[in-house]
Structure 1
């Protein structure tokens, strides 16, 4: 071969290689495939689940032009039960529309995509989902201990059974009245805690489905312990217990398929036996007492011989409650914190500091004599003298006791209790306390982190940290108000105030989907919504403005965050019932009746002689939330195509706003309550005529300045305060409030050493003393709602109402407060959005990342021009000076 021919052959081969590399680099693929935002779920109850996927492509401005989806009941896809091809951009919540799905059946699915550049992907990886059980599929019986279930001791239940053949696959379906932990052949079936979760038990109880891989031919042992939990244990106020029932019970069914295709079912029935174990007590508020001397070694495995103490269980009759598949994320262990220091207080107490206020428990390792009792007490803060402070826990003991068996190294973790704490007081520990013998474990619902936010200001970064940890600590199966005292309830007002921020920080789609089912279930027949969900208070404890509005605010917030119309369809009746309830209570369109919390925990100075307490008329507040819920119902009706309802509620909204103006505004535009919250809510919900809104904003600003650039808002005004100021051109005032370091402000607790959000602006006063002990939580997320403003204004990541789920979104950072840089990230249903900027030498530099199949509209600070960009990474510059 000639040299020239060799050269051209080389060039040709090289071009083929480069072409292949380029083709590979631009390869189109689908990833992160989910069903109803869940990864390979095992108990789908939805008849038309939603398929979603994200798209990989290294080429800019890529969007999907076509998708093919296929579903089969075999991983080989030999039999297709549903397939669909559509020439559109939809890549989230494509609803199943095939033949009726069979119960407790595994289905497999894939997608294949085409993009606007002519690329076609290969079929994606195979994902699966499994349908849940219909009522007739349950063969298991509810079982409980013999006699009345009156003891605080945790019962142990077990059954040894034989399988005749080799096992191909198995699924365990488990639930309980109370809480359960299940073991199979000596090992936990799952890493989940506090199952089956807290729901409106009188209406429905969740069950979990777990794949079982440790079953074998021959003998096996299934073993379960049952805790009181929210079902039977102490819950709510007035020291009430047994709210849902007085008997703990188990319902368990294992569906087994053998390698030869035959099937068998193992169930809970009267062949099981039970006895007491070493857990003498374990409940939500008070903690756990564990006596290792009473351990039943090997009770959950083969080879254990049951003594005469093991009694036959009894069958418990079925109740009226429905069994539903688990729809929210499970509670699991997460971060671990090593003990930072051990010290003595002025009172001589031995304290361990873990450095972070958290929710979970402490794992302790010890060696000592049999009968030695170790007591761990938990607290969030120390008092001004440096002593252990638990008065704010009210009657909750938050105390774990461990009695050693005296045989080598022993490790203790509680089973059916959790604590809210940073500091732990240790009593009775044998020998020298060592840091390495104590580990704090954070426990919360497994919501994927989605958002991150940092700035050039360390105090703001700590505030963001505190917001995230407030969310973690209070999102333990339900959105609680606090995680430490004798309350820990699903307060609706806190949840609605924080919902937007929650959706930035973590994927809360399934978390709120699950909780909203309980909002519907516990909603009163007249449409009123209880203060707490699940409702463990009185029936009359319902209908407070800004609390009950969780029924409308959160479904709309979730729709905006994730773009799934199904949540609006599911919650529509509940939303409508709440709005109709308010209408029924109003007279001449004015809602001025009922009991309301108002702007909870607003600013009240210690000396109120000057009349500076920021008191806002509660009925005035109620009218604004009335209007807002009507507006959200109108929005929802439009999305769902309910034209008659749009007309009906639009007319109602006009009347509600007219009634507000007539009752609460003077002709010149001054409001009856001259407070920040009054003006914030009037402006946020567009209660005022357009020609009077700007002057109202000026009144708001004057009020802020009259308090020395401090906020005075409570739970209802705070989430919207900075949003309203920014909307009406007072971005500088928003930053002044955000960066205010003295009380009352967001940064005051940060300066005081907070690692979570406080319930009160001055939970710890400037002199080191505490606010009133009966209501002073140091882990309360409501005021963390400022996170929504920070993501939208500092990072500039904003959703667009007409394009929910960030299909089209805005990047419009608004620098201020002398910040020199900020970075925000958000993992959306389309992929990761990133907005990162810095200011140096009078130049504003912005870097933006847009996920595939989405579009961003970028606006630089001080500019009116908007630039529309597709997927990829971009850089922008403009001149900027503070």
Structure 2
């Protein structure tokens, strides 16, 4: 037996091991380390590890130290060296010891810190010299600055630190810095403003240089929200925050920062809005604008504004990038230069054009998710224009918008000169560039398509923060949507760093407003802005339940510690508002939002009593908070919240459980919540509720009857109580409403409503109709854990439970997940009454094989197979 070589060395949850994907400029001074062991012989057990840390200055020799630790930990182990300072670059290798001694060193992993202290920033914001009007659609502008480096300088390292009030894209000597989109993203700007770090070593040069920054309205001052939205939420002035640091071979650091030496001027971007699109006049574009020596006619000295460096922070998650390009699968020539393009997949992104035509020709791009009567159906966009305009300069041009994003499958291109050649228009898919970690397949192609639709809805809505939809005048970080979907997301993608950032905003907004808002970042909008800030169940429970999910899936207790005050404040607030009777029915609730029985224009009018939903969640969050408190060593809190959960469960049973065991709201959602959250008084009541739930499913003919609260739990409530057949009947129904009904209607993403498109092909008449919401795709978590049968049985998948429960018409299923320890997988097939199962357990983890009709048994790392006869 030989000791294996570690691989995939990682720092915290940064995706630095992905070539060309990892970010520079992280904010960790003592980053925890993780690694995997891809292949290990039977009997291998890590006995210890060594970490080699090499500090690599821009100039001079690295300083290297080796640190040895005994034990088998390999996930988020403590940083062994001195604290990192600003601008430091380290190269780390790991070596492990097994029973046969020390193995080979891993490949090195590299991390670089950003500017960690307020005093590291010498830059000020650079903005326009002219006054900007409030509440209007204004023309964005450019800022630029020339600078000179010594003529004999040899560039050792150059870093550009960039943020903005608005959105920013930088160029150095005519070349773009990095490939991130929508920088710096959207955070609760009053509390947190991220900056990005770019390696521009290859872009700067001795002698004359220039740097230029495009600016766009973005979320800072652009229109956000529904019912007309609001402008200028965070301010009226766009501004760039730029600090370029160049280290030459003699060790000198040259800093070019936002100061009085910048100029501001108009560019070719006439309008930019996230909802409404962009207007770009290429006749006004001079590619020399970011080169030294540019004659900046009409430009003026820029104004500077002070920087509060205390709100600046480095990113924890990946940036938004173009992750894929889609070509049209069909093009209809409508005549007169108008073409209708079908990209075959609903997604978030924007179009890139390659075109040549007479100067002044206007090409207009419109976007929509669906067609009606053969044309774009724009009604679901509400007041989002989703329209881009390119004015041709005369001559060939390649162009895509910079500071907007759309949700669409179809696009109308009008004003096109000549023939629309293959490749002239492609769609660039944009979202946060997270690593894919989970896969699922089965023998039913409709279920496979449902799962793929869920993946695409995640991709479409994880755009810097988790939004509800990517297309209409909304795109907000609704807390309830993410709360129900977090388990699915955490299986499919590495969402840890992404959600850590957003959860920090949840806590900041909660502290400011006194409760967890319905969406984060919070902005006052229409009816929602007029509601009192009161705790709303399902939505506000994100403060407790989502950190708990992340801990379960990654083994990271630090996310629990960071969010603990937020989680505790949420449960305490619910306890206060519920009062001594422990029934959470005294404040406004959204309840089982989008219950299919609710009227199209009133999605909160569910058939399940809102107070039942809220009280069930109150008990569940209190119980989970007790477990978190115990894990963090908060013993008194653990006892308090365990007692509180028992009190709420008793109150729930007293108010909502009838003598015959049925719930007062005789609905799929009510019975599912009571069963899965363990709120029923004894086994008899539990059996009665489970049987009634199965009856309700049969009486509905397998049609779904749940909204946001019930949908994530209904199949689990059935399968965990012996009603597997009814769970599969729900899953595989194609009648409206059901999960597969949209698939039969051609859906390529998960819909907001069960009937966003009606059986006759018309769009639901409700004002709130999206074809790309992930919330109802939360069933995918059940597909992974129960249908395929793979789930964490200890935090971070240190122990993995393989427990498939076949049913319905499925004859096979499979799933794989890149756990923190490595790849785990399961596949099963049915041959008559024989179930054949194959599983894979990564080194460092153990597995539990839990097959129908057998006692669970533990297995070690490696590949294992089993056959069992299913009970008749």
Q: Which residue of 2 aligns with 1:350?
A: 339
Q: Which residue of 1 aligns with 2:553?
A: 561
Residue number among 379, 382, 389 corresponding to 2:377 in the alignment: 389
TM-superposed CA distance for 1:256, in Å, is 1.9
Residue number among 27, 32, 56 corresponding to 2:8 in the alignment: 32
2:336 and 2:534 map into 1 onto residues whose CA distance is: 44
Q: Which residue of 1 aligns with 2:568?
A: 576
> What does 1:509-548 correspond to in 2, within 5 Å?
509-525=496-512, 527-537=514-524, 538=529, 540-541=532-533, 543-548=535-540
Identify if the C-alpha distance between structure 1 residues 305 and 345 changes in structure 2 by more than 3 Å, giving closer, same or farther. Answer: closer
Which blocks of at least 5 consecutive residues in structure 1 are unaligned?
1-22
Q: Does 1:222 pair with 2:215?
A: no
Residue number among 839, 843, 850 corresponding to 2:830 in the alignment: 839
Residue number among 165, 173, 179 corresponding to 1:185 in the alignment: 173
Larger Rg: 1
> What does 1:726-875 correspond to in 2, within 5 Å?
726-800=719-793, 803-860=794-851, 862-875=852-865
Residue number among 434, 440, 449 corresponding to 2:436 in the alignment: 449
- In angstroms, what is the RMSD of aligned CA positions? 2.1
Q: Does 1:501 pair with 2:488?
A: yes
Identify if the C-alpha distance between structure 1 residues 839 and 533 changes in structure 2 by more than 3 Å, giving closer, same or farther. Answer: same
2:871 and 2:51 map into 1 onto residues whose CA distance is: 51
1:546 and 1:136 map into 2 onto residues whose CA distance is: 42
Q: Name the SS for the 1:95 alignment partner.
A: coil
TM-superposed CA distance for 1:166, in Å, is 1.1
Q: Name the SS for the 1:876 alignment partner.
A: strand
TM-superposed CA distance for 1:845, in Å, is 1.9
TM-superposed CA distance for 1:652, in Å, is 1.2
> What does 1:78-117 correspond to in 2, within 5 Å?
79-80=63-64, 84-96=67-79, 98-115=81-98, 117=99
Q: Name the SS for the 2:423 alignment partner.
A: helix
Q: Does 1:44 pair with 2:26?
A: yes
1:641 and 1:346 map into 2 onto residues whose CA distance is: 70
Contact map agreement 1:345 1:388 (CA 8 A) in 2: no
2:144 and 2:166 map into 1 onto residues whose CA distance is: 17
Runs of 4+ more than 6 Å apart = 75-78, 345-349, 605-608
Greater displacement, 252-261 / 175-184: 252-261
How many residues end up aligned between the 2 structures? 846
TM-superposed CA distance for 1:616, in Å, is 0.7
Contact map agreement 2:338 2:415 (CA 8 A) in 1: no
Q: Name the SS for the 1:825 alignment partner.
A: strand
Contact map agreement 2:608 2:669 (CA 8 A) in 1: yes
TM-superposed CA distance for 1:614, in Å, is 5.7
Identify if the C-alpha distance between structure 1 residues 169 and 730 changes in structure 2 by more than 3 Å, giving closer, same or farther. Answer: same
Q: Does 1:466 pair with 2:453?
A: yes
What TM-score do you get using the length of structure 2 for normalisation? Answer: 0.94
Identify if the C-alpha distance between structure 1 residues 347 and 713 changes in structure 2 by more than 3 Å, giving closer, same or farther. Answer: farther
Contact map agreement 2:440 2:788 (CA 8 A) in 1: yes
Q: Which residue of 2 aligns with 1:239?
A: 229
Q: Name the SS for the 1:410 alignment partner.
A: strand
> What does 1:315-354 correspond to in 2, within 5 Å?
315-319=304-308, 322-343=311-332, 350-354=339-343
Q: Which residue of 1 aligns with 2:113?
A: 131
Q: Deviations over 1:10-63 (max 9, x none)?
A: xxxxxxxxxxxxx7xx55111111111214453332343211111133413433
Contact map agreement 2:56 2:88 (CA 8 A) in 1: no
Q: Which residue of 2 aligns with 1:699?
A: 692
> What does 1:260-659 correspond to in 2, within 5 Å?
260-307=250-297, 309-319=298-308, 322-343=311-332, 350-383=339-372, 385-407=373-395, 409-525=396-512, 527-537=514-524, 538=529, 540-541=532-533, 543-588=535-580, 589-604=582-597, 615-659=607-651
Greater displacement, 332-341 / 659-668: 659-668
Q: Which residue of 2 aligns with 1:878?
A: 868
> What does 1:141-156 correspond to in 2, within 5 Å?
141-150=124-133, 152-156=138-142
Which blocks of at least 5 consecutive residues in structure 2 are unaligned?
17-22
TM-superposed CA distance for 1:91, in Å, is 0.5
Q: Deviations over 1:207-242 (max 9, x none)?
A: 111222222221222111111001110012342110
Contact map agreement 2:534 2:587 (CA 8 A) in 1: no
1:86 and 1:162 map into 2 onto residues whose CA distance is: 49
